[in-house]
Chains A and B, each alone.
Chain A
């Protein structure tokens, strides 16, 4: 069965520090992977997606993620955290023939001044 695991329900970094949010997946077929961000009281917004082209994917707001098949990982990074990055981040993969998404439990990112 397909699944997504996000290590760390809560990550705290200082402003200007590296952000690393971990995502591992399990899939019997080549996966399509997504990172979404949810700001308080808002919907899920796409940050970036991997669709089997380049393994290093760049997204909005300076985020990027690298697909590593050997490690079944798709970790999200940003070189320098900003206060506005504080939000909840969800990793997801396409799980069904109709494109429905399977989500991880989410990681809440806090950014300290």
Chain B
């Protein structure tokens, strides 16, 4: 069964460093998402991406964040200058083109630890 994959599973970085989190969505899906979950808190929407551009973003997704689909298969989230409060689990998700009722399929997540 097709699945969303994410690498790395765990990333440790120093404050102020740039990190890139990678995701490979399911191949025929057209909508892509990033969410994050700070330890002990709820899963929060960051950004959605469709047709090679951001289609919606939350207030969390500030200028420090960017997303890219560089080669038609990977979907990346970049944090330019990490802060301590960026430590969280980051989930990628994808879904087929269609109504909002379509299922979003989630990857296993990348745990980002900022020291």
Contact = CB atoms under 8 A, between A and B. Distances in A.
A and B are partners in one complex rather than unrelated chains: yes
A99 B108 contact: no
Interface in B83-110: 91, 93, 95, 99-109
Contacts of A41: 108
A94 B100 contact: yes
Interface string A91-107: 01011111111111110
A46 B103 contact: yes
B20 to A, nearest CB: 19
Given A43-B91, A44-B91, A49-B101, A96 B56 contact: yes
B48 A43 contact: no
Nearest to B9: A41
Given A43-B91, A43-B109, A44-B91, A96 B104 contact: no
Contacts of B55: 98
Nearest to A33: B101
Max chain A C-beta neighbours (<10 A), residue from B93, B95, B101: B101
A45 B48 contact: no
Interface in B37-93: 41-45, 48, 50, 55-56, 58, 91, 93
23 contacts: A32-B100, A34-B103, A41-B108, A43-B4, A43-B91, A44-B93, A45-B106, A51-B101, A96-B45, A96-B56, A97-B100, A99-B99, A99-B100, A99-B102, A100-B45, A101-B43, A101-B104, A102-B45, A103-B43, A103-B44, A105-B42, A106-B42, A106-B43
8 closest residue pairs by CB, A with B: A99-B100, A44-B106, A51-B101, A103-B43, A43-B108, A98-B48, A43-B106, A94-B100
